[in-house]
Amino acid sequence: MSRHHRRSTSKLLVGATLAVTLAALAGLAALTVGGRPPSVRGQAAAAAPPATAPSSGAASDAASPSATLSAKPKPSLTRTATPTPRPGGQARSFSVTYYGAADNTPPGSRDIAYPSVHGAAGGAGTWADPTTFATDRTELPVGTRIYFTPLHRYFVMEDDCTECDQDWAGRRPHIDLWAGTATDSGIVRCEDSLTRDGQSAVLVNPPPNLPVNPGQLYSNGRCVKI
């Protein structure tokens, strides 16, 4: 056995190993220069497929939702305005009588029990200056305005009436209208001529724009007509 033979075998093994190593390096260089192997590129492409472009119909639907769903028109509601009635007061029925200075208490005076618009009985019969009338204050509150159509005058509650109190205790409506400041017997005859049997229509809390014939019911010997 010689040592030289061993050296030759060792050289062959080294040569073979070197050849394998060079081949491996050559393959690595090829991979480095040429990029990824086809199989790797194919797998990457399969993992991320290209996006599919939306169809024109889908794009149109996305851009205009109302293209497929049209809003149903709502029926229009027509409302008829209810006319507001004009305030016209409350029509009530009363027994209507009259009094003046000649038959006032005390006689000849213009004294009143509940001064409201006036400090003493009087008034022109207009809305702003209504003529005094008397009644039970639980029948019509003090300061209540009324309108008596046959006379075309406004009156205001600011006096008491003994007969009215008695009638209202029996729930018989009664008002007593001021006729004037005269003290002669003619005013009493005027009052009697104006008084009607039974009850008459009277407007309580009337509007302020009704027609008016202003003045006292009896003045200078003359009595109004109804």
Q: pLDDT tens digits for 115-133?
A: 999 999 999 999 999 999 9
Say yes or no to pLDDT of 110 above 50: yes
Structure confidence at residue 18 as a pLDDT band (50, 70, 90): very low
Q: What pLDDT digit, counting tens, does each position of 177-192 carry?
A: 999 999 999 999 999 9
pTM assigned to the model: 0.63
Q: Distance (Å, rounded) from C-alpha 133 to C-alpha 143?
A: 10
| DSSP category for residue 149 | G
- What are the extents of the domains in the chain? 91-223
Q: Distance (Å, rounded) from C-alpha 201 to C-alpha 207?
A: 16
Structure confidence at residue 96 as a pLDDT band (50, 70, 90): very high
Reduce the DSSP state of residue 181 to 3 states and report it.
coil
Structure confidence at residue 88 as a pLDDT band (50, 70, 90): confident
Q: CA distances (Å), 203 to each of 88, 125, 171, in order?
A: 8, 14, 18
Residue ranges with strand state E in the chain: 90-99, 131-134, 145-148, 153-159, 174-178, 200-204, 218-219, 222-223
Taking residues 129-143, what's their average pLDDT? 98
Q: Distance (Å, rounded) from C-alpha 196 to C-alpha 193?
A: 8
Taking residues 93-119, what's their average pLDDT? 97
Q: What pLDDT digit, counting tens, does each position of 183-223 carry?
A: 999 999 999 999 999 999 999 999 999 999 999 999 999 99
pLDDT, residue 59, reads 43
Say yes or no to pLDDT of 55 above 90: no
CB 133 within 8 A of CB 156: yes
Taking residues 48-61, what's their average pLDDT? 46
Taking residues 79-98, what's their average pLDDT? 73
pLDDT, residue 216, reads 96
* Average pLDDT score over the chain: 77
